[in-house]
Amino acid sequence: MKRRGRFFKSLRFRILIILVILGIVPSVITTQALISNYREQGIAVRVSAIRTQCSILCNQIIKENYLNDSSSESINSKLELLSNNYGGRILIVDRDFKIVKDTYHVDEGKTLISSKIIRCFKNGEATDYQRKGQVLELAVPVKSADVPQIQGAMLVTLSLSEVSATMSELEQRGVLILSIIVVLSIFLAYILSTVLVKPLARVTKSIEDLTDGYQNDEISVPDYTETALITDAFNKMLARMKTLDESRSEFVSNVSHELKTPMTSMKVLADSLVGQTGVPEELYQEFMRDITAEIDRENRIITDLLTLVKMDRKTADLKIQHMDINQLLEDILKRLRPIADKRNIDLILDSFRPVEADVDEIKFTSAISNLVENGIKYNVDDGWVRVSLDADHKYFYVTVADSGMGIPEDSLDRIFERFYRVDKSHSREIGGTGLGLAITRSTVAMHHGVIKVFSREGEGTTFSVRIPLSYIP
């Protein structure tokens, strides 16, 4: 039952239905049109033949003055013969609507006033076809070429049973032909739908093989443009997944390494204390300070990792507020100035205009703080860090520039990667986790912004951040 339901919902079934309809409907319409056309032509031929014979008889009726004397054996025999040939009835009516001749010999001498006789006297010939009873009534005027006035009328009532019988036979044949067409349409539609859907089935099979591990390379089904586009999109997704898998593996490896390093240091320090007796208090305190520093470093790594995990989930965690950006930057520099003063580094804020924007205060502050802290940590003594703020009608711009050691050109594309460090030994000395810039980039992206970096070794580094003034979810 489930497989049947899947088939009815499948593309193959829909193609099958469309092809069957396209095959049957035109056939039905064509067949009905041909039968109808044949019926009209059959009636027209019969009417034309009768009209011709009636015209000949009407001329003879005028010549032999039949309307006044209906004893003419020649005309009577011809009327009887015409009536018998077509299985009908013929009435001859004079101008007084008196029936002069009735081939059924029933109404002779009676008065006949009918709509067809009246139309015949007024307008000439009148025809009436009763499709239900298959009866044709034809009223032909009896007149002479020498006398324009109509002298009488000939009313011919004929049965079209022969035409009906022929039509019935044609309809039976039409039904037979339609049945054959329906069977052939279904058969051909089934074959065509199978052929059309087969490339999609191949795509599905290739994806399943890839999923089950039977295929490691890219898939290729170039039968149609559509299947080629599907396979190209899938291969791009596959390449992206491989890249993400490699990044994930590298990330796990980096996390393991970063967490293991402080733990190894703490173990070495603890083993040193345990393995010694009579350890001086000064040495003991020094070892404990080192252990505490390693614990703090481990805590910073875990905290930054948790921050990144939260950012990776979704941007809905943002708590957007309309903030004074000038004041936020002043608060950041005020908090970091004591750290800068230890190395005599000058913190400078250039605000070119008042700026108010929609930001998450905590996350935005953390991102800019990371940039300023890096500018302090990786700077030279007696250097400077300059923070600039500007805006236009749509965005505001924060630039953090320093006079530090700079970043090598081959490292610029990787500095936003998690745990990537330009100088690993120096980074560990100053307490870096390798996650600060990754957090900053994620924060800027969550605000629908862009961050760029410009740097030269020995000349300093500049980070440029652009964020919309109004946040649109």
Beta strand 346-351 with 384-391: parallel, antiparallel or unpaired? parallel
Predicted local confidence at residue 305, as pLDDT: 61
Q: Which secondary-structure segment (H or E) carries 37? A: helix 11-63
Q: Which residue has the tokens 């052929």?
A: 195
Cα–Cα distance measured from residue 57 to residue 51, given in angstroms and rounded to the nearest whole number: 10
At 294-316, the pLDDT tens digits run 677 667 666 656 666 666 555 44
Cα–chain-centroid distance for residue 92? 74
Greatest distance between any 2 Cα atoms in the chain: 163
Give the confidence band of 131 by pLDDT, cuts at 50, 70, 90: low
Confidence of residue 425 (pLDDT cuts 50, 70, 90): very low
Most confident among 97-106, 195-204, 277-286, 289-298 (mean pLDDT): 97-106
450: CB partners within 8 A, 6+ apart:
444, 465, 466
Between 435 and 93, name the one with better pLDDT: 93
Specify the pLDDT at position 376: 92
Per-residue pLDDT of 234-270, as tens digits, reads: 778 777 777 666 656 655 655 565 556 667 666 766 7
Domains annotated on the chain, with CATH:
2-167 (3.30.450.20), 217-313 (1.10.287.130), 318-468 (3.30.565.10)
Confidence at residue 427, expressed as pLDDT on a 0 to 100 scale: 47
Yes or no: say if 376 and 339 are a contact pair by the CB < 8 Å rule.
Answer: yes
Order of strands across the sheet that contains 460-468: 346-351, 384-391, 395-402, 460-468, 450-456
Going from the C-alpha of 63 to that of each of 49, 100, 130, 306, the distances in angstroms are 22, 16, 33, 120
At residue 49, the 3 state secondary structure works out as helix
Least-confidence region, from 6-10, 47-51, 63-67, 143-147: 6-10
Output the average pLDDT for the chain. 78
- Average of pLDDT values for 399-425? 79
State how far the Cα of 266 lies from the Cα of 292, in Å rounded to an integer: 9
Confidence of residue 426 (pLDDT cuts 50, 70, 90): very low
Nearest to 444 by CA among 376, 395, 392: 395
- Alpha-carbon gap, residue 176 to 189, rounded angstroms: 20
Q: Is the pLDDT of residue 325 over 90?
A: yes
Helices and strands in the chain, H and E counts: 11, 12
Average pLDDT of the segment spanning 218-230: 70
Task: State residue 162's pLDDT score.
Answer: 67
Short-list 349, 316, 317, 308, CA closest to 332: 349
For residue 326, pLDDT beyond 90: yes
- Contact of 117 with 130, CB cutoff 8 Å: no
Say what the pLDDT of residue 322 is: 94
Q: For residue 145, with 0-12 CB atoms within 10 Å meaning exposed, 13-18 middle and 19 or more buried, which class applies?
A: exposed
Q: Which two tokens stand for residue 221?
A: 């089904």
Specify the pLDDT at position 316.
47
Q: Of 229-233, 427-431, 464-468, where does the model show the most confidence?
A: 464-468
Give the model's confidence band at 100: pLDDT under 50 very low, under 70 low, under 90 confident, else very high: confident
Q: What is the mean pLDDT of residues 34-52?
A: 76
Buried b (16+ CB within 10 A) or exposed e, 34-67: eeeeebeebbeebbeebeebbeebbeebbeeebb
Instruction: Return the closest-CA partner of residue 466 out of 377, 332, 357.
Output: 357
Q: Name the most confidently modeled range: 119-123, 294-298, 322-326, 433-437.
A: 322-326
Q: How many residues can be counted in the chain?
A: 473
**186-212 pLDDT, tens per residue?**
787 778 777 777 777 777 777 777 666
Angle, to 10 degrees, between the axis of helix 161-212 and the axis of helix 225-274? 20
pLDDT computed for residue 116 by the predictor: 81
For 441-470, the pLDDT digits (tens) are 888 998 999 999 999 888 899 999 999 999
- Taking Cα atoms as reference points, which of 157, 70, 145 lies closest to residue 114? 157
Of 125-134, 359-368, 438-447, the range with the lowest mean pLDDT is 125-134
